Structure 1
Amino acid sequence: MRVETLTPTIGAELSGVDLADAVHDDGLFAEIRSLLLAHKVLFLRDQHFTREEHVAFARRFGPLEDHPVVGSDPDHPGLVRIYKGPDSRQEQYENAWHCDTTWRECPQMGAVLRCVEGPQVGGDMMWANMGEAYRRLPEHVKAQIAPLRARHSIEASFGAAMPMDKRLALHAQFPDAEHPVVRTHPETGEKVLFVNAFTTHFTNFHTPDNVRFGLDHAPGAGLLLQYLMSQASVPEYQVRFRWKTNSVAIWDNRCTQHYAAQDFWPAVRKLERAGIVGDRPS
């Protein structure tokens, strides 16, 4: 197996390896897992495994989960089909910087995503290293956000375009989750900036130290949250990947965010994702 580092902060491309072999090869899987912790997102080309092997490989990291809104493959629970074409151009779920399923109490640990049909041009995906984003924050900002917690909502994102009754039912099924603004990676110990497009507001900002006369003290909770969320957009923290059919991305959802560009109409982009159950952020 050959490993090519793609940027100084995030991403590596693996070649000379077949992920189907890692389903049964403990040593190969351990090496891939170690590389994932080191590089945060891994890319592979020309992977011709079956859906059964896709699911089996992802399950080596842990149990898989379905998505309550995005459709899954009926024969392979945990394999979410993200098929986009001209009829889905109004679905704005991917072209925002986000960390998958932070609206859950236990967001995904990571994912294995394969392109089963890619456009000739466009539809790239980007990932951002949110550990690096935290590390480079000014020290006074780190001190300010250290105790903060924030809410993450599926209702305000996936539910926003639904009729009210369906949106409220979705919220009842998945109440807003609350997470620390800075989480600690459970395996590496790295501190990670943990707010994204699913984050709606801080839950413990409005204290006498931060508020005067009922108004947020400058820069204010809303401005602070927007500033923190904007860190994923810094190019120095990012890697960009151009999809080709049978390309694969594996990422650590605990320390990254990603963005899928929707600039490929009228072509299609068909992706299949196996999302891995994660832990409660702390």
Structure 2
Amino acid sequence: MSVVVDSTVEREAWPSFTTGAHSIEVVPLTATIGAELRNVSLARASRDAELFAELKALLLQYKVLFVRDQDITRGEHVALAERFGPLEDHPVAGSDPDHPGLVRIYKDLDSAPEHYENAFHCDATWREVAPMGSVLRCVESPPVGGDTIWVNMVEAYRRLPEHVKQQIAGLRARHSIEASFGASMPEEKRRALHATFPDAEHPVVRTHPETGEEILFVNAFTTHFVNFHTPENVRFGFDYAPGASELLNYLIRQAAVPEYQVRWRWTKNSFAIWDNRATQHYAVQDYWPAVRKMERAGIVGTPSF
């Protein structure tokens, strides 16, 4: 069962420890992923290099960090994210006009339910270089619902059967914005989106550039393998189709394993900071027509060789 972290729960019951020169209190939330941080100011971390270094080290260890009740401006939000690297805009979701790169994910009473977030995905793998990570703030939360789930894709790879690891070693796959965000667009607009963002190709098993961990790197944006149809893998047509798609679907479903997950219940001015290279996430859309407003700073990544 995924862990639901609720602000109404008596938090002192959670095991915790302090770390670093700034005595950050760290509360691990599951055995495999996620920690809530207390006694830390993200506004201060946006301008304090030593505090930020502690934060980054914890991120590499826990893969997603959560912090509640942050008194922070949009400028400080952006400055914190920019300590990780340059920010990137989103071609479909709008940005704050005063803070380019701060994407507004606003779901209000005028918005019909949308279904591009409620799938396990790694942000923007349809880019040639997928984001390094994100810093996400809850501006307004529904009274109940609207949680987000994160998944440790290092653990998902580690626990694959050995014969599957051997089968996918060296495989590469395509990731598409046209087949996801573009699917509901008129044909002309969809084709224009594809022309701007052609399908990207990434390894099925990626090596983390900082930790060296191996990561299962397929998700809801992944459409197909590009180098599966070889004599070693394909004897007859059904080995390739549907054989390859069955293998890909099996790999994508690993994100749904609860043992790899943490689930976070949002409150106003709570934050999540995640390593997009090592995780997937799923925004649970069970709250409409209630309002949910989030602001996300996405950080440019490095190539996934």
The TM-score range, normalised by the shorter chain, is: over 0.9
1:140-179 mapped onto 2 (5 Å cutoff): 140-179=163-202
Q: Match for residue 125 of structure 1?
A: 148
Native 8 Å contact 1:19 1:57 kept in 2 = yes
Percent of aligned positions with the same letter in both sequences?
74
Q: Match for residue 66 of structure 1?
A: 89
Unaligned runs of 5+ in 1: none
C-alpha separation between the residues in 2 aligned to 1:135 and 1:219? Answer: 25
Equivalent in 157, 168, 185 of residue 134 of structure 1: 157
C-alpha separation between the residues in 1 aligned to 2:282 and 2:162? Answer: 27
Runs of 4+ more than 2 Å apart: 85-90, 212-215
Tell me whether 16-25 or 172-181 shows the greater mean CA deviation: 16-25
Shift of the alpha carbon at 1:85?
Answer: 2.7
Q: Match for residue 194 of structure 1?
A: 217
**Residue identity matched to 1:128:** V
**Residue identity matched to 2:290:** A
Tell me the alpha carbon deviations over residues 19-65 of structure 1, each in whole angstroms, 9 at most, x when there is no partner. Answer: 00012211100000000000000000001201011001100000000
- 1:258 and 2:281 matched: yes
- 1:206 and 2:212 matched: no
C-alpha separation between the residues in 2 aligned to 1:89 and 1:22? Answer: 37
Q: Match for residue 272 of structure 1?
A: 295
**Residue identity matched to 1:164:** E
Native 8 Å contact 1:114 1:249 kept in 2 = yes
Give the match's secondary structure for 2:138: strand
Shift of the alpha carbon at 1:216?
Answer: 1.9
Native 8 Å contact 1:232 1:257 kept in 2 = yes
Q: Match for residue 240 of structure 1?
A: 263
Q: Match for residue 249 of structure 2?
A: 226
Native 8 Å contact 2:132 2:276 kept in 1 = yes
Tell me whether 215-224 or 30-39 shows the greater mean CA deviation: 215-224
Shift of the alpha carbon at 1:266?
Answer: 1.7
Unaligned runs of 5+ in 2: 1-23
Count of residue pairs the alignment pairs up:
282
Give the match's secondary structure for 2:183: coil
Tell me the alpha carbon deviations over residues 100-131 of structure 1, each in whole angstroms, 9 at most, x when there is no partner. Answer: 01000110000000000001100000000000
Tell me the alpha carbon deviations over residues 212-254 of structure 1, each in whole angstroms, 9 at most, x when there is no partner. Answer: 3332259710100000000000000000000000000000000
**Residue identity matched to 2:210:** E
Give the match's secondary structure for 2:166: helix
C-alpha separation between the residues in 2 aligned to 1:8 and 1:159? Answer: 37
1:28-39 mapped onto 2 (5 Å cutoff): 28-39=51-62
C-alpha separation between the residues in 1 aligned to 2:240 and 2:233? Answer: 5
Tell me whether 88-97 or 4-13 shows the greater mean CA deviation: 88-97
C-alpha separation between the residues in 2 aligned to 1:87 and 1:237? Answer: 35
Tell me whether 212-221 or 240-249 shows the greater mean CA deviation: 212-221
The 1:218/1:177 distance shift into structure 2, 3 A limit, reads closer
Shift of the alpha carbon at 1:209?
Answer: 1.7
1:61-100 mapped onto 2 (5 Å cutoff): 61-100=84-123
Q: Match for residue 40 of structure 2?
A: 17
1:103-122 mapped onto 2 (5 Å cutoff): 103-122=126-145
1:41-52 mapped onto 2 (5 Å cutoff): 41-52=64-75
Native 8 Å contact 1:89 1:262 kept in 2 = no
**Residue identity matched to 2:83:** R
Note the aligned Cα RMSD (angstroms): 1.1
Shift of the alpha carbon at 1:86?
Answer: 4.1
